[in-house]
Amino acid sequence: MTTAAAAAALMLTACGPSQPQSQTTSSPGGQASPSASASASASTPAPTSPAPATSTPASPAPGTTAAGAPGLCKAAGLTAATDPSGGGAAGSVYMKLNLTNSGTEPCILRGFPGVSLVADAAGAPIGAPATRDESAGVVDVLLAPGQTGTAVLRYTQARNYQGCSPVDAAGYRIYPPEDTDSLFIPQPTTACSNADIALLSIGAFQPS
């Protein structure tokens, strides 16, 4: 009986349920297996590098000249004179207004000067300033030291106008283009104190 009972117990043990297997595979030390790590790395997108920054060269501001280019002629570096050889017609006198570069560097005359009749070298303008004669186009006139630019100045006889209120003028005050300083040309003549009458007209500077 003892032998039969022992044989029966051995058969029951062999037929019992087996232990379940784990579905998680770990490497020693509790770390994930190499296959799991590789799978995680493949699913993570690689970071992208930012596009390189680009720069745009700065442009010079409107109205400025490039470095080293001649600037506009200023009164401090000019001398002024008139040349009466332009002739006359119908009560008007045409003359050349000449501005000469008296400095040591080249400069540019561009456009129309301001011209007025004045009582004296430091006096205020008399009557209306010169109107612009646009029959000749605006060009850049480059003046090397000693060179001259010319604009046509017309003076109309003051006594041709009713209501002129004539007064004596000592000469002309000349403002180079885009300059607030002036030059004086002594040339006595008659002006109209009535500012509604324009005795003068001036053209744009041209090469002489």
The 10s digit of each residue's pLDDT in 58-99 is 544 444 455 678 999 999 999 999 998 767 677 899 999 999
pLDDT on residue 190: 96
Task: Count Cα atoms within 13 angstroms, Cβ side, for 106.
Answer: 9
Q: What would the mean pLDDT of 45-62 be, rounded to a whole number?
A: 48
For 146-164, letters b (16+ CB in 10 Å) and e give ebbbbbbbbbbbbeebeeb
pLDDT on residue 34: 42
pTM (predicted TM-score)? 0.67
Least confident of 26-30, 50-54, 68-72, 119-123: 26-30
Residue holding tokens 């019992």? 16
Q: Where are the domains of the chain?
A: 75-207
Q: What would the mean pLDDT of 171-200 be, rounded to a whole number?
A: 96
Q: What would the mean pLDDT of 115-125 be, rounded to a whole number?
A: 93
pLDDT in tens, 25-45: 444 444 444 444 434 444 444
Q: How confident is the model at residue 131 (pLDDT cuts 50, 70, 90)?
A: very high
Query: CATH: 3.30.300, 2.60.40, 2.60.120, 3.30.750. Which one for 75-207?
Result: 2.60.40
